[in-house]
Structures are given as structure tokens and as C-alpha cells.
Amino acid sequence: MHIHSAIAKRFPSPEWAVLYEVRDDAGFKAHRSADVVAMNCWPSRGLRLHGLEVKSHRSDWLRELAKPEKSVAIQRFCDHWWLVTSDDKVATLDEIPERWGWLALSGKTLKTMRDAPALEAQPVTNGFLAALLRNATKGLVPSSTIGEQVQERLDDAVKRQRDTASLDLERLTKSYDKLRNAVEAFRESSGIDIFNAVNEYTYPRVDASRLGAVVKQVLSSDSPFGLNDLEAAKRNIQHAAERVDEMIEAVRGLAPASHEQKGAA
């Protein structure tokens, strides 16, 4: 129950010693029990003993309220007595007995709905002391509380992992979109679909290694096929083509008759 974790936070160790399911006496003399007893261990805080009755449902509280004498068995040894509820709907302020305080669970902490008044506690009997000590040997924290704390830490760890995974996925998605756009731009300008290099079911296949080597060679400053060299070669070819055209026209001008006779034959 989260309420036990909240009680542990409200009465933290080492300032407090918290015991659960404490009987009012030892052995067969015990007739009543308190859900929680918290003893302050610091003299500066008064070494006061608090008793707590925990109720998770309104019906449980109404049954307790109908028999107020049940709490007296242990309340008489306490300096303060509290009702602790799972929320603020279990009880109402006008129902809280005069000698009681009220703590209601709000989120993961206990909210004080009404302060517990100081009581005139009776001296602790040997029987009640024995019940306290016997309870203490069973452990100060119930297994349910340990399980809750472990689960809370596990939930926090899982949440952190999910948040990290979500951020990683977002980064990978953005990187993939950029890569996809770059490949698409390359395909549109070159006519080559680079994705064929990784898809074994497409034909013809693109040899990514050879394609990369060619691109590197073309873009290299010391390559014989550098961009400047290719543009110079283009200009030379165009100039040569123009010279050839001029030579053809010159030849035609020197012997027009012989060409015409051959054409007629």
C-alpha cells in the first residue's frame, strides 16, 4: 500500500522507530492492536509515542467509529493518536473524535487534516513493552512497504529508459529523414537510385563502392578527371568540332563540281 510508504516518509528513521500491527499486551492477554506505533527517538523532540489507525475505506472507518473503545487499549499509552486514511473522502472533519488527529494521503505524502492533540499518556506496562519489543524483532518495515519502494524505483528506471529510447528514436528519425532527402536529391539529379545498393531484390544493382570511388575521383583536386579538367576537355572538344566543320566547308568550296557529279551518278 502507498499509505505505508507515506507513513515511512512522515516518520523517518533514525528519528523515529516505526512498528506495525502492535498488540496491546503480551501472549494471551492481548485483545487489541494498533496498525502503527511510532516512537520518537530524539530527546530534543520529546520522545513522544504516536499511535495510528489506518483506514482505506469509509465503511472500515464507520465501523471503527461505532466502537471507539477499541482504540483505548493502546491509545492510553500514546502521547498522540491519529486516523490515517487513503484519501480525504474516507472521513469528514466533524466525525474525528476529540482525542484524535487526522492524516490523509495526498499523492505520495500524508496531509494533516487535523492535528492530533497532546494526550496524558499512562505509563507503559511490561506487557505492552514486551509486545513492542516482540514486534521490533520482526523488522521495522513490512515487506509490503519494501515491495512498494522497489516497485517505485523500478517504475522510475523504466520511465527513464523509455524517455531515453524516445529521444534516441526521435534523433534517428530526423537523421533518417535527412539521409532519405539527400539520397532522393542525388537520384533526381543523377538518375541513380542509391537505395538499390542495399536492396537485394532490385535490378540493376548499384555498386555503392564503385560509385563512391568514381565520385571521389571526380571531386578530387588532383584527379585527371577533376571538374576543371572536364570543363577544359569539353571546351577543347567543342573547339575541335568547330575546326572540323570549317575544314569540311573548305573542302566543299575547293571541289564543288566533283561532288555534284558524284551526287548525280
What is residue 264's predicted lDDT score, i.e. its pLDDT?
52
Helix-strand-coil split of the chain, %, nearest 5? 55, 15, 30
150, 44 contact by CB (below 8 A): no
User: Which is nearest to 16 in space by CA: 33, 39, 47, 46?
Assistant: 39
CB atoms closer than 10 angstroms to residue 18: 22
The pTM assigned to this predicted structure is 0.53
Distances (CA, A) of 22 to 1, 113, 124, 194, 221: 18, 24, 13, 75, 87
The CA–CA distances, whole Å, from 151 to 1, 43, 157, 255 equal 11, 35, 10, 104
Handedness of CA 7, 9, 15, 19 (dihedral sign): positive
pLDDT on residue 69: 83
Q: What is the pLDDT along the chain (265 residues), one digit of tens a residue?
A: 589 899 999 999 999 999 999 998 888 888 888 999 999 999 988 899 999 999 999 999 999 999 888 889 999 999 999 999 999 999 999 999 999 999 999 998 999 999 999 999 999 999 999 988 888 876 556 666 677 778 888 888 888 888 888 888 888 888 888 888 887 887 777 777 766 665 555 555 666 677 777 777 766 656 555 566 667 777 778 877 787 877 888 777 776 555 555 555 5
Q: What is the pLDDT, as a whole number, of residue 154?
A: 86
Nearest to 128 by CA among 55, 39, 41, 68: 39
